[in-house]
Structure 1
């Protein structure tokens, strides 16, 4: 006979295992992890806050030094001192400020060194304050000396100005006295047969050519030099007899353009000098009074007139 095995119990009738300790361990580990990460995050936040405070404090120090440095630069510049080195330092400060704000790695590595540098900058500012005081004293001394020199200079300038004025007045008088003058002007009519007639009135048939003759008067002050004499024959209507083909042209007199009828160059030697112009109009003259003027170096030497009937 086969031995009969005892029958197995169903699962739901089996006693359940106690898993509570496992859940407690897992929960504890989770809480520990949460606490650990929370604490770590708090540490990081505190570190970031501390670092940000250091950055802000360092930036403010750099900015304050930069402002103080600018004040010294302006003061030394106004006093005439050397500012190239300070300008270079200011540029470096501005570069440090900019990089401190944008470069996190730079922030960590440089904050301590920048704080040390700020101390050096402050010492430099104190040195520059002493230099500014020295420059002020020197400038005050120079100002006093300059005041004395200015008084002397003004007195000297007044003397020089008076001498210049006297010199100009003398030069003006000499220039006026050295002007050449003419005298004894004769306006001679030459007919077509070459016969000359000297009178103050002419008929057109008597005038084939005009010979205008005068003496340039002796002047011991005038320089010995070449002179260009300009002759103007002015018709009764006020127009100058003008013909480019016969040597006419223009010149400036008292800032305005004027025309001349003919010109002639002479070498003036300070002695009386007889000068003659021979003018061929090529046509009849207008009836009435004609005026004759002679210019040189933009001034009038003399004049005359003749009548055509």
Structure 2
């Protein structure tokens, strides 16, 4: 029993174990882990920075292509070309730009595809540049044709205007040429005994009636139709002899109202025709020269005069 008790010694009397190697190993492992995680984190940071730079570069490429595409769209639109396909591509391109900025998963999977698509867009822009040049040439041709057509149209309008003017002038000439004229106007006085005097100068006692006779000249251009002849006897004071009870009235000449002394209707058949007016004033005539005018269709056919002593 004593031997057994003597062999068991207290812990503080036992010799201590050497733990230094274990501590060194643990320390080394910790340092190695720290270095490993540091370099791994550094590598991840570099990869993220590189990826962000790629995203930024890709976005700038897409934005540049979008701007160039918009220029082509506006140019082709102004030249009258079809822009439906380009507008659809621009819509897709803007969607790609937006998704590239907000979707990380999309970023990782699409950068290469988008860069390849940018190259395709650039080739498309080159093709559209060729189309634009063709459209410019076509528009220049159309512009020249339009200019030619405008010149021809202006010339045609001038010709039409000239023809219309000639037509109006011809119509005016025909209208003037178709006017009736009178000649050989004779103004005689008939007294109360029926004796007729001529010569153009009469005393009041010799004038019971005025006999005004003239010939309507032949005119092959004038239409065959009824004509109303208006006779105006104008006293020395400028007043027209006027009596409604004896058939006097008024008419319009050169936009003003005028009075006539008597009227007579005839049927004109383009041949010369003798016309006679008999006018009974019913009172004495003023002393002096009297004028006689004959109108139809608002124009003057002819005139004469007589003297009362």
Rounded Cα–Cα distance in structure 1 between residues aligned with 2:143 and 2:276: 69
Q: In the TM superposition, what is the alpha-carbon distance from 1:151 to its structure 2 partner?
A: 2.8
Q: Which residue of 2 aligns with 1:251?
A: 251
Provide the secondary structure at the position in 1 that maps to 2:241: coil
1:242-285 CA distances to partner (integer Å, 9 max, x unpaired)? 11111111111112111111111111111110000111111110
CA distance in 1, matches of 2:268, 2:221: 12
Deviations 1:198-235 (A, max 9, x none): 12111111111111000001111111111111100000
> Mean Cα displacement is larger for which, 187-196 or 201-210?
187-196
Please show how residues 89-100 of structure 1 align to structure 2 within 5 Å: none
Match of 2:49 in 1: none
The 5-angstrom pairing of residues 16-35 of structure 1 reads none
Matched, 1:308 2:308: yes
Which residue does the alignment assign to 1:169? 169
Superposed displacement of residue 147, structure 1: 4.9
Is the counterpart of residue 219 in structure 1 residue 219 in structure 2? yes
Structure 1 equivalent of residue 236 of structure 2: 236
In the TM superposition, residue 177 of structure 1 has moved relative to its aligned partner by 1.4
- For residues 176 and 237 of structure 1, the distance between their equivalents in structure 2, rounded to whole angstroms, comes to 31
Shift of 1:153: 2.0
Deviation, 1:240, is 0.4
Number of the residue aligned with 1:295: 295
Gaps (5+ residues) in structure 1? 1-78, 80-136
CA distance in 2, matches of 1:191, 1:237: 24
User: In structure 2, the residue corresponding to 1:168 is in which secondary structure?
Assistant: helix
Structure 2 Cα separation of the partners of residues 143 and 280 of structure 1 = 79
Distance 2:236 2:152 in 1: 62
Structure with greater Cα Rg: 2
Question: Which position in structure 2 is the counterpart of 1:25?
Answer: none
Match of 1:275 in 2: 275
- TM score, norm. by length of structure 2: 0.53
Q: Secondary structure at the match of 2:233?
A: strand
Residue 192 (structure 1) shift = 1.2
SS at match of 1:226: strand
TM-score after normalising by structure 1: 0.53
For 1:243 and 1:158, the matched residues in 2 are separated by: 54
Of 140-149 and 258-267, the range deviating more from structure 2: 140-149
Distance 2:207 2:199 in 1: 12
Deviation per CA, 1:31-85: give whole Å up to 9, x if none.
Answer: xxxxxxxxxxxxxxxxxxxxxxxxxxxxxxxxxxxxxxxxxxxxxxxx9xxxxxx
Cα distance in 1, alignment partners of residues 266 and 166 from structure 2: 33
Note closer, same or farther for the CA distance 1:140–1:251 as it changes in structure 2 (3 Å cut).
farther
Q: Give how far 1:164 is off.
A: 1.1
3-state SS of paired residue (1:283): coil
Task: Measure, in 2, the Cα distance between the counterparts of 1:140 and 1:247.
Answer: 76
CA distance in 2, matches of 1:244, 1:155: 58
SS at match of 2:174: helix
Residue 190 of structure 1 deviates from its aligned partner by: 1.1
Using the TM superposition, give the Cα deviation of residue 150 of structure 1 relative to its aligned residue in structure 2, in angstroms: 3.2
SS class of match (1:305): strand
Pair 1:158–1:198, CA change in 2 (3 A): same
For residues 284 and 146 of structure 1, the distance between their equivalents in structure 2, rounded to whole angstroms, comes to: 79
Structure-1 residue corresponding to 2:8 = none
1:241–1:142 distance in 2 versus 1, CA, 3 Å: farther
Structure 1: 4+ residue segments shifted above 3 A: 139-150
Number of aligned residue pairs: 177
Q: Distance in 2 between matches of 1:192 and 1:254?
A: 39
Residue 37 of structure 1 is matched in structure 2 by none
1:13 aligns with none
